[in-house]
Amino acid sequence: MKHVQILIVGQGPAGISAAIYTARAGLDTQILGCPPKIEGDYDIDNYFGFPESITGAELIKRGVKQAERFDVAIRCERVLGIHSSDRNTFEVKTEKGLIEADAVILATGVARVKSMIKNAADYEGKGISYCVSCDAFFFRDKKVMVVGEGIFAANQALELREYTSEVSIYTQGRELAMTPEFIQRLKKANIPIIERTITMATGENGLQGVIFKDGGTETVDGIFVARGEASSLDFAYSLGLMRKGVFIEADNEQKTNIPGVFAAGDCVGNFLQISVAVGEGAKAGRSAIKYVKGLNGITNGDN
């Protein structure tokens, strides 16, 4: 398994900014993430240093170039899950494999996609879950549905298959967004992909069934929501991070409640702006440097 000192999830302003700090401090730094939403033809008028304005695309391009100058490795690769390992490191599962990291910086922005099940909130913790690693155990040999259309959903369904044989994926009527490799793996694992849309959950004392948009019904024990791609929130569930609503809780130094995990930018939910993301990224980088140098017995981590 590849090992890096710092793994940053997110190629937006927060992630790139953090990487510039960690790489300049001599730490082996890997960014996983694809170009962010702002990487388009949007004029950024309020970011310091560009009196004539700059497009989001140009700003990100410059940031990436700067990070690469310090040997930051950047890959457009989706992270599907993060877990603490018993070696005092983190195992980061991506769509292409596993990477081990001494410290992780979450800079995933905000992109939580809703389940489309109208009363999902009433069943959270009572049959509807957002975290397979946390809750799959409770659904051993039970019938479960995974809601989602992407490889995150595929991955979650495959993980669930280790607990029960009755797993199916519901795309909620959306177009499938999985690679042929994942579709093949689902087929091999006997996990059907169904295009119907679940609109309501039913059950008196916890989840017992669903109602589809076409009026049909079906019994079910558990639903795992895995729409879009894995977000900071999903990583929060599997790592045991404290949250505030859809955001990760981080202190003034961007530390979360889990040593070695830092969070910056929109995913911590302060003022959702580039300048703030860049500033928080710098602080997360600095804290991660101190943490990793501490692991190696070096006390001065300032840079």
Q: Does 285 bind ligand FAD (CB under 6 A)?
A: no
User: By C-beta, is 14 or 103 nearer to ligand FAD?
Assistant: 14
Residues 90 and 84 sit within 8 Å (Cβ to Cβ)? yes
Q: Does 53 bind ligand FAD (CB under 6 A)?
A: no
Taking the alpha carbons at both ends of the chain, their separation in whole angstroms is 29
CB of 155 to ligand FAD, least distance (A): 11
Cα-to-chain-centroid distance, residue 18: 17
User: By C-beta, is 107 or 113 nearer to ligand FAD?
Assistant: 107
Residues 243-282 that bind ligand FAD (CB under 6 A): 265-267, 272-275, 277
User: By C-beta, is 89 or 155 nearer to ligand FAD?
Assistant: 155
List the one residue from 27, 32, 226, 263 that touches ligand FAD (CB under 6 A): 32
List the one residue from 25, 30, 101, 109 that touches ligand FAD (CB under 6 A): 109
Compute the Cα dihedral for 5, 236, 259, 20 and give only its sign: positive
3-state helix, strand, coil in the chain (%, to 5): 30, 25, 45
| Contact mark string toward ligand FAD, 193..222, x via CB under 6 A | ------------------------------
List the one residue from 4, 5, 13, 159 that touches ligand FAD (CB under 6 A): 13
CB of 225 to ligand FAD, least distance (A): 15
- Helical H runs in 240-273? none
128 strand-pairing partners? 124, 223
Q: Could you tell me the CA-to-CA distances from 41 to 14, 44, 59, 64 in Å, in that order?
A: 19, 9, 11, 17
User: By C-beta, is 99 or 201 nearer to ligand FAD?
Assistant: 99
At 245, which helix (H) or strand (E)?
Answer: none
Residues 140 and 67 sit within 8 Å (Cβ to Cβ)? no
Within 13 Å and on the Cβ side, how many CA atoms surround 184?
A: 3
The footprint of ligand FAD on this chain (CB under 6 A) covers a number of residues equal to 33
Q: Does 230 bind ligand FAD (CB under 6 A)?
A: yes
Interacting residues toward ligand FAD by CB under 6 A: 9-15, 32-34, 36-38, 42, 44, 46-47, 78-79, 107-109, 229-231, 265-267, 272-275, 277
